[in-house]
């Protein structure tokens, strides 16, 4: 299984509208890719950019995360562009490779109560995939059973990171963040990924 995951989201004006925020879970041999894309602005054009990014990522999910961002950048030049956060989990060495461009808030909660850092905020670089790409650098982190990664678009108040604790299920955590921290002035999406650690 490798991961358990859940999401919660809302389009600006309600879920009858098309959201420019999108998530993707894509399995590949020995691993799984988790991604959140936020098309610039909102409405159909933002949704189209996020949808195209998801398609590019799904088609090449097993590639290194830097290569995936570059593929998206090349493929989205005629769109509004997106900001994104990508995490590639590998079963072989219980690791996570992460990269972010733009303002998708990303935090890793450690399950081990004796961990030196129970909460690790992972910072992306400014830019827009498809328009202006910063120098790309991936972060590699070991992960253990129960570690929980949270990615949230800018429709969620950044303060959500200040009082986090692993909930019994990813869905409960995603719903709680959405209920308590959704701005209501933009599309909003939360993706919660919990590392399970078994072979996919």
Structure confidence at residue 200 (pLDDT): 42
Based on DSSP, count helices (H) and strands (E) in the chain, helices before strands.
3, 10
Structure confidence at residue 15 (pLDDT): 61
Phi/psi region, residue 99 (left: phi>0; alpha: psi -120 to 50; beta: rest), is beta
Q: Which residues of the chain have pLDDT under 70?
A: 14-16, 166-167, 198-200
pTM for the full model? 0.94
String of DSSP letters for 62-75:
TS-HHHHHHHHHHH
Per-residue model confidence as pLDDT tens digits over 37-74:
999 988 899 999 999 999 999 999 999 999 999 999 99
**Helix or strand or coil: residue 78?**
coil
Query: Containing H/E element for 53?
Result: helix 44-59
Other beta carbons less than 10 A from residue 96's beta carbon: 23
Q: Residue 82 pairs with which residues in a beta bridge?
A: 39, 129
Structure confidence at residue 188 (pLDDT): 94
């Amino acid at each position: 299984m490798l991961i358990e995951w859940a999401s919660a989201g809302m389009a600006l004006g309600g879920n009858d509208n098309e959201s420019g925020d999108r998530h993707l879970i894509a399995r590949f041999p020995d691993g799984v890719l988790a991604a959140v894309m936020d098309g610039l602005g909102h409405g159909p054009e933002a949704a189209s950019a996020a949808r195209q990014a998801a398609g590019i990522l799904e088609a090449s999910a097993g590639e290194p995360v830097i290569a995936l961002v570059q593929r998206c950048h090349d493929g989205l030049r005629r769109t509004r562009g997106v900001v994104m956060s990508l995490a590639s989990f590998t079963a072989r060495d219980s690791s996570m490779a992460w990269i972010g461009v733009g303002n998708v808030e990303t935090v890793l909660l450690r399950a081990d109560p004796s961990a030196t850092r129970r909460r690790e905020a992972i910072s992306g670089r400014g830019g827009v995939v498809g328009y202006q790409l910063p120098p790309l650098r991936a972060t590699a982190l070991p992960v253990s059973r129960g570690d929980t990664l949270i990615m949230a678009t800018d429709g969620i108040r950044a303060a959500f990171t200040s009082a986090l604790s692993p909930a019994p299920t990813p869905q409960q955590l995603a719903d709680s963040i959405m209920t308590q921290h959704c701005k209501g002035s933009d599309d909003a999406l939360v993706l919660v990924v919990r590392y399970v650690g078994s072979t996919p």
